[in-house]
Each structure stands twice: as structure tokens, then as C-alpha cells.
Structure 1
């Protein structure tokens, strides 16, 4: 069981909300809860683990216990890393709500084979929905497009474009600038884009424990390039708050994006904040 720092107010806020358009709650790391005006709720990359100290050390609160989540139509994973596919964070949501777990093959392999969600949690195999780039799903009031991204540290990353009558949201996972982004800008009018951002630091090597230079997320120039290529109206940087040694100051992005045509607005969310389209 996850010990939440904040009790159950965040899952209750999502369940009780009645947004006029689409509301998003930032969960820290790269996680979001998304709720549409008709009540459809999507959770994208929710993670309430503490990392693997001393290598990866969580720097933000654990905002909810997944056992308290009773409003969910789907949980979407962008790639197979533990802070994006994590049984203790996500399987209880599936068990409580009968939501589907939407992910690419390598992410599903973690859930099926490495963490054995069907054995360790009350998750049915039917909950697993495998997707790949180019797929389109209808989940409640959202049309979900599975798109190509670029994350060299992942084995099969994908992004999700969420189309709603109120606007369009793009969650890029941990992607850096991608050749696919200009094409997405031509295909979709993206109102709000979620892009990972962080610094380069020294993190203990997974095998030796020795500190090594590490860069997992876009730096200031890369995220500005990605946001411009995507033609974003609003940019929400994520992941900058999470890991000790790789945190960054998102307010610095004002100077990096101001000369580009896009984004029109830099929107900085702290863990627990709500954003509306």
C-alpha cells in the first residue's frame, strides 16, 4: 500500500470535478489525470514510487494512494521505464475501476512478465490494450491518437494526442525533439503540449554505483525546439521536479521560448495543480 503525503484529496478532486472543457491535474514526474466535460477520466503515466535510492531519489511528495482512485476509464503509459509503468502505482487503479491499460508492447511486457500484474494484483488480462504508432482509439469523449516520439533511452516510446471537442492535448512522454513533430503540427492544432524537461547531472551507475554524467530529458534549448516544431499554443514542462541531481528551473524557459513563434504561452504547473483548456 502506498503511503500518500496528501491523503485522498487529489483523487477526490478529480472525481468531484465538473470541468466545462478538459481539466488536467499534474501528478509530479510526468503524470497527469485528465477529465473531460462529460466525465471521462484518463490517467497518463501516474507514478507514486520513491525511485531507487540512492540512485534515483524522489524530490516531490507522493500525492495520492492509487487505492483511493475510483474514477478512471483508462491508464495510458508512454514507455517502459519504471516511473511510467509501475505496478504499485497503476495496477490498483485498474483493479478498482475496470479501466484499460493502454500501452505499447514493451510497456505491456513489464506489466505482464516482469511485474506480473495479473498474479500480484486483481488485474484481468483483458485490461491490457496494446497500441502502436498510428493507432486511434475512442475512450469516452476523447479520441486518442498514438504517435511517434523520440526517446533514445526507451525501447518503444509513444506519445498520445488527445482530441476533445474543447481542444487538443499532446503528452510526449520523455521525448526529446523528434522528426515527427513538424508532421504532428501539420496534422493537429495542439492547444496544450506536455514535454519532459530537466538538467544534466551525475547519477550513480545502475551496475557499479559510481557517479556518471546523466541526461534523461530535454534541456532548455531542446524543449524550446520541440515546442516550436509542434506549434504549441501552451507548453507545460514536466519531470523537472522529480529526481535529485536532475531537477531544473522551468522559469528559465521563458528566455528560451520567447523568440520562437510557438509556444504562445509557457505554463508552469507544480505537483497537484489543475490546468484547464
Structure 2
């Protein structure tokens, strides 16, 4: 500890000592991991944020976000233009408190090959993370996203030459990793106002491709489908025909009454079947106190339905900060953090008796 005396304790000293809660633990793990040939490694950064590392050690990150939700009761009412105000006709602030620690330090990221964002919502596109990557990553990597995302980056001061606007059908090559941009089904993005885009009449459906996209990320070790905040769509089946998907990352949570925003447990199973994926990993359920999901519901229903519907995919229940290695973990159902003490009895124990009962 940097402070040894209670009279030297300050709020800033406390923040410096405990925040981010994981320090550089995950940064170090990602940096030092050498992904074996024919495999791909993923780490969950909370919410829909995922770090993907190929067997050529190429790193791309999607929806890297280190923000917060509500942190005081003393907030004004929702703006009438806010998506939930438009959807519900309500004005009370959403009680969405962040429930997870910061598992990664964005200011200690030095090695990265591409920064991808799926859409412009503030829990996916982060000013602080953007600044940290722009300032500290050694190479001048591309910032990739749909038009609304890029317009927001530009408004924050990201150089235009660093930004790449993408839309469904585009293909971006990052070293050995191929990124295919495809359709989003995030209907919430259609009722959200964005920076730099014209606000259409409220009865006009905006252009989804300018606001949100999904990504298909192909590596030598497997293909990852990042579904961002897509709602369930029958068009997932088209993506299942178009792409050979190994891992599908999909947004799951509990929708409050009057809200339609995340997929339910049955939606996740339907989407996984439609995408013809080998593994489905529900994300987003972890982060908001008022939408906190229980992914065990997905596992329960999968066990109930798998024989009847001949499911060929496996669900994987992850934990923020955890690692997933494909194909090694493709039939693993649940993640648990490393338990430690692997070196037990490497040295003589120091007890007044033989066993600690």
C-alpha cells in the first residue's frame, strides 16, 4: 500500500489503491498467452466486450468498454428522446447500476491490432477506452465501426485517418484475421439518437447499417460471431447458412416489464440453432443490476430440449475476466476462475500438528 497512515488517506489515494479492481492481472495474462497453433483464445471483458487472440498472436477487441451505470439517485429524469423514454412513455431514470468489477486496465493496453465497435450505445463505445488505446497502443491500429460509431469517434477527436467506416458486406483483413461485417438486429439502436447522423422523423425507420453491425471474425483456430446487442431475428438462420460459425456471442438479459432489449433464454437457444454454431456464449447478462440475467436458465432449457431438437451446439456459461480456448473448451459447460494452490506440498508444511482439520 502506498499510504501507511490514516491521516494520509484521501479519496484519491483510495481510488488509486483499489481501482481498477483487477489491476493489470488480465492485461498480463493476455499479453503473455501464446495461443497454440489451430486454436483461438477469447477473454470476456464484461458486458459485450471480448478480446480475441489468434494462433498468430493477432489481437482484436470488440466493444471494449470500462464505464459505469447510474451512480446516484440524484439524476434528472430521462430525456424524452432517450430510447427507453420513447419505448415506455416513462421518464424515471433507469436504475442500472454496474454489478461487475473492472477486470482490465485500458490504460495498460500496449499490444493490439484492431479496435472494433458494433454500435454507438454508451455501454459499447467508451470515451476513456478510446483515448487510452489512441494514446498508448504502440501501432497506429484501425478503429473500425459503422458510420454512427465513427462519427462519435470523430466528435471525440479521433483522427479521421485512423477510422474505418464499415457496413454489412465489407471485409477487413487484420494480419491473419479476416473480419466480415454483417447485419445487426439491434432494434433498440433504431430508436436511439446518434451523434453525426440526421435524426429522422419518429415514424421513419432509420437505416440500421449506419447505426449497428455484427462481426464474423475468422481465425485459423475458429470463427467467432459477435452478435452485439441484436434482438432475436429469423435472419440469424441466413447468417448460419452464410458463415461457418464456431462460437456465437449473443446478448442475453432479463427485460424489465415494458422493455424489449435483450434476448431471453429461449431466444438464445433459437439463435444458436439458427446460426448453426458449435458453441453459444451468452453475454451482457452480467452488467446491469436491473437486467441481471441467470444464464443457468439457458443451460437448464438446453438440457430439456437438446434430445428433442437434436441440438448439436453447447452453451458455455462464462464469468467476466475468464478465458475461453477453442476448440479445447467447446464442450465445457461452465467456467470457473483458476482455483490456485497447484504447488501444494512442494515445501514442508509449517504446522504444530500434521493435519489442519
Q: TM-score, normalised by structure 2?
A: 0.70
Structure 2: which 5+ runs fail to align?
Answer: 1-14, 73-93, 191-210, 327-357
Structure-2 change in CA distance of 1:133 and 1:38 (3 Å): same
User: Which secondary structure does the structure 2 equivalent of 1:33 belong to?
Assistant: strand
Structure 2 counterpart of 1:106:
148
Corresponding residue to 1:124 among 134, 145, 159? 159
Structure 1 counterpart of 2:283:
238
Structure 1 counterpart of 2:41:
23
Structure-2 change in CA distance of 1:254 and 1:52 (3 Å): same
1:183 Cα offset (Å): 1.6
- CA deviations 1:190-209 (Å, max 9, x no partner) are 1110000000226xxxxxxx
1:257 Cα offset (Å): 3.0
- Asked if 1 retains the 8 angstrom alpha-carbon contact of 2:231 and 2:261, the reply is no
Structure 2 counterpart of 1:51:
69
Corresponding residue to 2:178 among 122, 133, 143? 143
- Asked if 1 retains the 8 angstrom alpha-carbon contact of 2:272 and 2:313, the reply is no
Structure 2 counterpart of 1:6:
22
Structure 2 counterpart of 1:78:
118
CA–CA distance in structure 1, aligned partners of residues 182 and 243 of structure 2: 11
| Larger radius of gyration between Structure 1 and Structure 2 | 2
Corresponding residue to 1:33 among 37, 51, 54? 51
**Equivalent runs, 1:65-214 vs 2, <5 Å:** 65-97=105-137, 98-113=140-155, 116=156, 118=157, 123-155=158-190, 156-201=211-256, 213-214=258-259
- Answering whether residue 276 of structure 2 is matched by residue 221 of structure 1, we say no
- Answering whether residue 318 of structure 2 is matched by residue 269 of structure 1, we say yes
- CA deviations 1:2-37 (Å, max 9, x no partner) are 931110111111111101111000011110111111
Count of residues paired in the alignment? 260
Structure-2 change in CA distance of 1:81 and 1:196 (3 Å): same
Structure 1 counterpart of 2:4:
none
User: Which secondary structure does the structure 1 equivalent of 2:266 belong to?
Assistant: helix
**Runs ≥4 in structure 1, deviation > 3 angstroms?**
52-55, 260-263
Structure 1 counterpart of 2:351:
none
Structure-2 change in CA distance of 1:194 and 1:268 (3 Å): same
- Asked if 1 retains the 8 angstrom alpha-carbon contact of 2:54 and 2:220, the reply is no
Structure-2 change in CA distance of 1:187 and 1:10 (3 Å): same
CA–CA distance in structure 2, aligned partners of residues 17 and 130 of structure 1: 31
1:225 Cα offset (Å): 1.2
CA–CA distance in structure 2, aligned partners of residues 263 and 12 of structure 1: 35
1:263 Cα offset (Å): 5.3
RMSD of the TM alignment (CA)? 1.7
- CA deviations 1:197-228 (Å, max 9, x no partner) are 000226xxxxxxxxxx4342111121111111
- Asked if 2 retains the 8 angstrom alpha-carbon contact of 1:228 and 1:261, the reply is no
Structure 1: which 5+ runs fail to align?
Answer: 203-212
- Asked if 1 retains the 8 angstrom alpha-carbon contact of 2:273 and 2:313, the reply is no
User: Which secondary structure does the structure 2 equivalent of 1:154 belong to?
Assistant: helix
- Asked if 2 retains the 8 angstrom alpha-carbon contact of 1:176 and 1:226, the reply is no
